[in-house]
Chains A and B, each alone.
Chain A
Amino acid sequence: MNAAGSSEGALRTAAPSPFAYFASATLKAFNTNKTSWIGLVVFLIVVVAAILAPVLAPFDPNDQNILEKLRAPTLEHWLGTDSFGRDTLSRLVFGARISLIIGVVSTLAAMVIGTAIGMLAGWHGGRLDTVTMQAMDVLLAFPSLILGLILVAMLGPSMVNIIIAIALTSIPPFARIARAPTIAVKEREFVDAGRALGYSDTRLLVVHILPNILPEILVMGSLWLANAIRTEASLAFVGLGVKPPTATWGGMIREGFENILDSYWLALVPGVAILFVIFALNLLGDGLRDAIDPKLKGET
């Protein structure tokens, strides 16, 4: 960067590259609220544990051992065993993969589709805007968990269908959050300038408007990722998760709940794990939201 006072170096200091700008802005946002760091670190630990599941898990998550069933935590099985004698710790780290994959993919899908809808509605305005946003409001008003339950029950409980159902129920908030800033940015001079230069709508939207609303959308993404993970667990808890014997956190709670009277930890351990991840993501998203828009402080 500091290329010994060369004119090029000075120029770059004056106008940093978009990437450097983005990185320093992100760092600043994180430092405004130290809790964001805690959230990020906890979440990353879970991500690493999920990736390294085959290495970290002491046992095969689906290995049954009827002789060792419903064991309380021991040195061999740190978190005990379930009613099939499967190791709870191993199922926990493998279950993290399902939660994260479904959560991340469905949230990304909702983010892309919702942002596109919101930007187009805000950009074109008029009747298209009214109709789209009213449709989004209707969708937003309907209890998303119930919509998700019904969609998965109708489509069948497979990983892809669960992702589709969760993504569909999370589109409206992204559409809403993308629309308002699009309307605000659309009136700014640089957009007029772009239009005068003959740029296409697509180029204006993607290259010139999207970067302006991206931070807010990413922050919303972390909060909705928490929500998606919670929805996935809820679906699995009522028996609409990825099919057994695949380990999922919601499914583990469902199975543990059947033995709650004598082996309470079977339901408690995955329950606390879910709570932990969602809390971490909420800490992350909430702190960052604070930083990028002090007016939004504490809003849910």
Chain B
Amino acid sequence: MTTFLIRRLAFAWVTLFAVLTLVFVLVRIVPGDPAQLILGDQASREAIDALRQRLGLDLPLSKQYTVFLLGALRGDWGVSMVSGQPVIREVLRVLPWTIELTLVSLVIGILLGVPAGVYAAIHRNRFVDYAVRISSLLGLSFPPFVSAIILLLVFAIALPWFPVISARSGSVMAWYQSITLPAISLGLISAAYVTRVTRSAMLEVLSEDYVRTARAKGVPWNVVIWRHALRNALIPIITVVGLYLGILIGNSVLTEIVFSRPGLGKLLIGALNQRDYPMLQGMMVIYTLIVVLVNLLTDLAYGFVDPRVKLK
């Protein structure tokens, strides 16, 4: 287990450096001088030079790169051009909102998706299987903002059950009111992915010899499905859930905008519209950290679910 852990940690570091380098390059391939872009055409030479100095753009590229890398790892992500606040403080302020939304959606996705996938796999090629397959295909066809708008139209505007603007305040009821629609909107799409991978993983496992053996020796069907088959189907399910978390975090940007919910999405769009470079760079660093962390957790989950992984 220790070697496995060390190997995965090493790979996580490599990924982190690779993506941070990508971020560094991305921010610098912008055509034109960022300082000029921020200040506009009317700016004086002195003002532009002063800003270049403040942003560290006057340093040689190699120096900029080390400053950026060290800063990124120490949590020193610069100061927002718009608010004047440290980027990391602004990011950490809204991060809990996004994490809460993605986690609740993911839980909804798993709670709906795993049973639906198992059920469809057991009733392969029967009507319910087709229904599950078609509806999950429809579910993953939804652009996240379209599902959000439809939910908003039905449950906040036509039926005034939920507030149009989902920002919580205080009580459990207020929290429930603000998280429900955004989380269902993302959760249904997640459920579609989880259903499909669960179904195909279960189909594969159900044809294995040990499933037949278990049935032959008289293990109840329910136990065979949930204990023997599903446990072995978990690896591909975890892989897809881990990969899907990245997509989910991307999708949450759109959901947060539709429901006017605070979070990384609103911060990102604001930074994009204002061309707030330090903020954009910081946002990419936080997304990278999240992705690397999720990958690491996925790997650890493999080791947890499947003892064979630890030995490899």
- Measuring CB to CB, which residues of chain A are less than 8 angstroms from any residue of chain B? 35, 134-135, 137-138, 140-146, 149-151, 153-156, 226, 230, 233-234, 237-240, 253, 257, 260-261, 264, 267-268, 271-272, 274-275, 278-279, 282-283, 286, 295-300
6 smallest beta-carbon distances between A and B, as pairs: A143-B250, A145-B250, A298-B200, A271-B146, A279-B141, A278-B141
14 contacts between A and B (CB under 8 A): A35-B134, A141-B15, A142-B291, A143-B249, A151-B26, A154-B27, A155-B30, A234-B143, A260-B149, A298-B133, A298-B196, A298-B199, A300-B140, A300-B193
Given that A257-B258, A279-B138, A298-B200 are contacting pairs, would A153 and B15 also be in contact in the complex, using a CB cutoff of 8 Å?
A: no
Chain B: CB-nearest residue to A264: B153
Are A283 and B27 in contact (CB-based, < 8 A)?
no
List, in ascending order, chain B residues with CB within 8 A of A240's CB. 272
CB-CB < 8 A to A138: which residues of B? 15, 18-19, 22
Find out whether the CB atom of B268 lies under 8 angstroms from the CB atom of A146: yes
Q: Which residues of A contact B292 (CB under 8 A)?
A: 141
Distance (whole angstroms) from the CB of B131 to the closest CB of chain A:
13
Q: B234-272: contact bitstring with A at CB < 8 Å (1 yes, 0 no)?
A: 000000100100110111011001100000000011001
Query: Do B26 and A150 have beta carbons less than 8 Å apart?
Result: yes
B152 interfacial contact with A, CB 8 Å: yes
Q: A146-B268, A283-B137 are in contact. Are A233 and B143 (CB under 8 A)?
A: yes
Asked if B72 lies at the interface with its beta carbon under 8 angstroms from chain A, I say: no
A253 with B240: in contact, given A146-B268, A150-B26 (CB under 8 Å)?
no
Q: How far is the CA of A151 from the CA of B137 in the complex (A)?
A: 29
Q: Do A141 and B291 have beta carbons less than 8 Å apart?
A: yes
- Give the residues in chain B near A257, CB-CB below 8 Å: 149, 258
B153 neighbours in A (Cβ, 8 Å): 260, 264, 267-268
Known contacts A141-B15, A267-B149, A298-B200; decide if A155 and B143 are in contact (CB<8 Å): no
Nearest residue (CB) in B for A148 is: B250
State the interface size on chain B (CB cutoff 8 A).
Answer: 56
- The answer to whether B273 and A239 have CB atoms under 8 Å apart is yes
Chain B, 58-98, CB within 8 A of any chain A CB = none
Contacts of B273 in A (CB 8 A): 239
Query: Do the beta carbons of A149 and B272 come within 8 Å of each other?
Result: yes
**Cα distance, A138 to B292, chains bound together (Å):** 9
The answer to whether A300 and B157 have CB atoms under 8 Å apart is no
Asked if B247 contacts A143 (CB within 8 A), the reply is yes
Among B6-22, those with CB < 8 Å from A are 14-15, 18-19, 22
Chain A hits for B249, CB < 8 A: 143, 146
Q: Among the listed stretches B45-53, B180-188, B213-221, B280-288, which one makes contact with chain A, having 4 or more residues with CB under 8 Å of it?
A: B280-288
Question: Which residue on chain B has the smallest CB distance to residue A143?
Answer: B250
Query: Does residue B155 face the partner (Cβ distance < 8 Å to A)?
Result: no
Contact A149 B253 (CB under 8 A): yes
Decide if B157 touches A253 in the complex (CB within 8 Å). Answer: no
Instruction: List A contacts of B275 (CB < 8 A).
Output: 153
Asked whether any CB of chain A lies closer than 8 Å to the CB of B197, the reply is yes
B150 interface residue per 8 A CB criterion: yes
CA distance A239 to B287 in the complex (A): 21
* B6: min CB distance to chain A, Å: 17
CB-nearest residue of chain B to A152: B272
Q: How far is the CB of A47 from chain B (nearest CB, A)?
A: 17
Contacts of B162 in A (CB 8 A): none
Assuming the contacts A141-B15, A144-B250, asked whether A238 and B257 have C-beta atoms less than 8 A apart, the reply is yes
- Is B311 in contact with chain A by the CB < 8 A criterion? no
**Smallest CB separation, B197 vs chain A (Å):** 6
> How far in angstroms is the closest Cβ of chain B from A135?
7
Flag if B199 contacts A234 (CB, 8 Å). no
Bound: A145/B251 CA distance, A: 7
Contacts of A156 in B (CB 8 A): 31
Interchain nearest-CB distance for A170 vs B (Å): 13
A212 CB → nearest B CB, Å: 24
Cα of A217 to Cα of B51 in the assembled complex, Å:
48
Q: Which chain B residues lie closer than 8 Å to A237 at the CB level?
A: 143, 145, 254, 257
B177 at the interface (CB under 8 A from A): no
Contact B287 A142 (CB under 8 A): yes
The complex places the Cα of A237 from the Cα of B257 at a distance, in Å, of 10
CB–CB B145/A155 < 8 A: no
* Cα(A141)–Cα(B19), bound, Å: 10
